[in-house]
Amino acid sequence: MSTEESMSVGETKSVAANSVVIRVEAGESAVRAVGRRILVAMLLASVFMNMMLLLSTVVDATATTQSVQQSHHSGDESASAKLAVISFSGTIMPPFTARWLTQIEQAQQDDAVKGVLLAIDSPGGLVADSHQLYHELQKLAKKKPIYVAMKRLAASGGYYLAMGIGTEGRIFAEPTTWTGSIGVIIPRYNAAELASKVGVTVEPLVTGPLKSSLNPFRDLSDEEREVWAAILKDSFDRFIGVIEQNRPALDDEHVRDLATGQIYTTNQAIENGLVDEVGYEEEALAALAQSLGLSEYEVIEYSSTPTLLDVILSGSVQAKPGFSEELLSATVPKAMYYCSWNPWVPGYGK
């Protein structure tokens, strides 16, 4: 056997050793064959998720403590009075929630910071996280004025955050900003028909009839739909109330008329009382300084130092979720203030 033939055989053995072989029996339907491939993919994904979950548990014990960093944004660096910029970019979810909470606390405790600007570029996120941030922003707004500068997208949970500035703050939006999308979504996929064609029966062992109610391999029962409808209504009513309380010109009826899930352009948002005026970040900062009577001031921008866990799971020193985090979170039922028909949008944010 020639050297070239030996290498070919060796390469074939190597490929075979690292491949998953799926046998398709004679006469097997194409649908069943595809189903087998899907099940194998799900099995591999499950193994991968469990490995990453174990890794995250181990690494979490050695993760470094997050700290708030501040950098010069604009203005006079020698000025004693400061305005702080907190950037809410990407999906509102852990681990970002904790970092933003720390930045809000930093702004509240720093006596040199006279006012805060929220730079929002977010499609929204988790209901609980959106409200937690809103609650802390409300406490900050009682001590210091807060303005908002909306960028590309400040929708759903992104708009919910903006309500944290209270009735005294002002909301600026760029001419091309999209906002609104007031409402709640719970991801739900129905693969019951596919499971039936492939021949898969899902029988989870549960302690109650509603424990696996979002199982994608079967239809929802009437009882389950009623339960989830009540959960949606609770979150939706809270969203409506938050807007009504913080936008004095809007009453409950008007807010509900706007809360169809529709996205609004800047001009539409201003017309409907959701936004105050057109303007960019620098214009919002100038207006905030004017409201405080400041002629000399420095604008600082907050950021958080990524932990060791972030670096390992994302493969980057930047504070963004890695694939493993996205894959893990995709399997967990979530109620979301989110501007998308498909709430799992990998890679959004910075």
Q: Where are the domains of the chain?
A: 3-60, 68-186+218-338
Chain centroid to Cα 290, Å, comes to 33
In this prediction, residue 49 carries a pLDDT of: 61
Q: Which residues of the chain have pLDDT under 70?
A: 1-36, 38-40, 42-66, 306-334, 341-350
In this prediction, residue 347 carries a pLDDT of: 43
Tens-digit pLDDT profile for residues 200-212 = 888 889 999 899 8
- 29 an active-site residue? no
pTM for this predicted structure: 0.77
- 151 an active-site residue? no
d(CA 274, CA 271): 8
Looking at domain 68-186+218-338, its CATH class is: alpha beta
Tens-digit pLDDT profile for residues 215-274 = 888 899 999 999 999 999 999 999 999 999 999 999 999 999 999 999 999 999 999 999
Q: Are 190 and 216 in contact (CB under 8 A)?
A: yes
Per-residue buried b or exposed e for 261-293, using 16+ beta carbons within 10 Å of the residue's own CB: eebbbbebbbebebbbeebbbeebbebbbeeee
Q: Which of 122, 156, 181, 213 is catalytic?
A: 156
In this prediction, residue 287 carries a pLDDT of: 98
Q: Which of 211, 221, 233, 295 is catalytic?
A: 211
